Each structure stands twice: as structure tokens, then as C-alpha cells.
Amino acid sequence: MAERRQAATAYVGLGANLGRREETLRAALAELGRRPGVRVVRASAFRETEPVGGPPGQPCYLNAAAELLTTLEPEELLTVLQQVEDAFGRTRQVRWGPRTLDLDLLLYGDEVIVDRKLRVPHPELVVRRFVLAPLAELCPERVVPGTGLSVAALLARAPRDDVTAVGLYPV
Ligand code: A4P
Ligand code: MG
């Protein structure tokens, strides 16, 4: 695997709405930190959120975000995220359907990537409170490439009715 000379800061969104969600998120963070070229610098609180989109009647999600320092290229990091998802029993069937673990690459430095396999910043980032709220805990001032707006500003203007935090769990 090609090592970048300088580590990049990346942000990852975590979500789980099946199984032992809190345990899964904690274990996924630990597993990410064990992967070569990935260091988990810090993580947000875990938030209980109403499911957005997908089939009706899904259980609530537990969502979080994590700041990574990585020497992996973005595509390599995506592969690692997918490997960790798979390790926790994720099967890709229904888009926006229930899942034991979903890991999305939200931001990678200041890079904008538009590729068939990978889009960074994550395309749904700007409208999702369940992503913006934990991210704002970690990097409120960071400007999201392509928007000209900070994470905090995007959170302030994100649609209010798409998610209700019904609980907050400290990490
Ligand atoms: N892909 C492209 N860009 C990225 C990126 N930045 N990060 C591609 C991760 N993956 C990226 O993803 C489908 C494909 O997206 C991948 O093969 C990758 O090449 P997936 O994870 O296999 O499928 P998915 O997660 O079912 O679909 P999608 O569109 O990624 O769903 P999201 O956006 O992950 O949303 N409600 C609440 N409250 N909390 C949640 O966490 N999550 C979702 C899923 C829906 N509703 C939710 C939540
Ligand atoms: Mg996903």
C-alpha cells in the first residue's frame, strides 16, 4: 500500500440501527485504529436518531463521527471502511435499509473527489443533521469543500424536521 508522506485528517460517519449498536460503534472505532495507516484521534458522542429514508418501521440509529489521521489514500481508506463494515456483518441489500454498521467517508483533508466509487465530501453530508451534529462537535469551523460554509453553519441551516435526537450517550 502506498504510504503518503504526510498524514491527512479525515472524518468518518458511523451509524448502526441493528444489534448491539453502542458496542458495535465502540468496537468499530477500535478496529479502525488497529488498521495500518489509520489513527483514531477522537470521536464524538453517540446520538440516538430517527431513521431518515429507507423502508418504514426501521429501528432508531446510533450515530457518531470520528476524526482520523491517515497515511492512506482516500480510495484505500474507503476500502478499509468497507472491510470494517463487513467484519461487523454488514450486508448491502436495501439502499438506506437497516444495517449493523455503516461507515461513510465524510471529509478527507480539503479534497473534492467525484468518482464512480467515491464522492468526498459525502454527498448527503450537507443535509443530514445526524451527520452534521456529531461532526460539529469535532470540527465546527472546518469549511466543507465545495460549499464555502463551515460544518457549524451547515448544521444551523440543515432541515430541522428530518431527525430528532432522542438521547445522547457520552463516548
Ligand atoms: N460511496 C461513494 N462515496 C462514498 C463515501 N464518501 N463514503 C459509495 C462511503 N461510501 C461512498 O454505499 C454505497 C456505495 O457508496 C459504496 O459502494 C461506495 O462505493 P453503501 O454503504 O454500500 O450503501 P448504503 O449505505 O446503503 O447507501 P448510502 O447511499 O451510502 O446510504 P447512506 O448515505 O450511508 O445512508 N438515518 C439515520 N438517522 N442515521 C443513519 O446513519 N443512514 C442511512 C444510510 C440512511 N438513514 C439514516 C442513516
Ligand atoms: Mg454508506
Is residue 158 in some structural domain? yes
Is residue 117 in some structural domain? yes
CA distance 114 to 100: 27
Does residue 31's CB lie within 6 angstroms of at least one atom of ligand 1?
Answer: no
Q: Which residues of 38-55 are buried (b: 16+ CB within 10 A; e: fewer)?
A: bebeebbebbbbbbbeee
Number of Cβ atoms within 10 Å of the Cβ of 123:
11
Is residue 149 in some structural domain? yes
Q: pTM of the predicted model, to two decimals?
A: 0.90
Is residue 9 in some structural domain? yes
Is residue 93 in some structural domain? yes
Does residue 105's CB lie within 6 angstroms of at least one atom of ligand 1?
Answer: yes
102 Cα to the center of ligand 2, angstroms: 5
CA distance 14 to 68: 13
Q: What is the CATH number of the domain that holds 156?
A: 3.30.70.560
Give tens-digit pLDDT for 30-65. 999 999 999 999 999 999 998 888 778 888 999 999
Does residue 169's CB lie within 6 angstroms of at least one atom of ligand 1?
Answer: no
Query: Which structural domain range is residue 114 located in?
Result: 3-166
Is residue 120 in some structural domain? yes
129 Cα to the center of ligand 1, angstroms: 15
Atom of ligand 1 nearest to the CA of 16: 41
Give tens-digit pLDDT for 114-162. 999 999 999 999 999 999 999 999 999 999 999 999 999 999 998 875 4
Q: How many domains is the chain partitioned into structurally?
A: 1
Q: 3-state class of 125 per DSSP?
A: helix
Active site residues: 90, 99, 102, 104
Is pLDDT of 26 > 70? Answer: yes
Is residue 171 in some structural domain? no
Backbone angles phi, psi at 55, to 5 degrees: -65, 150
CA distance 98 to 90: 9
Question: Which residues fall within 8 angstroms of residue 56, CB to CB, at 6 or more apart?
Answer: none
81 Cα to the center of ligand 1, angstroms: 11
Is residue 123 in some structural domain? yes
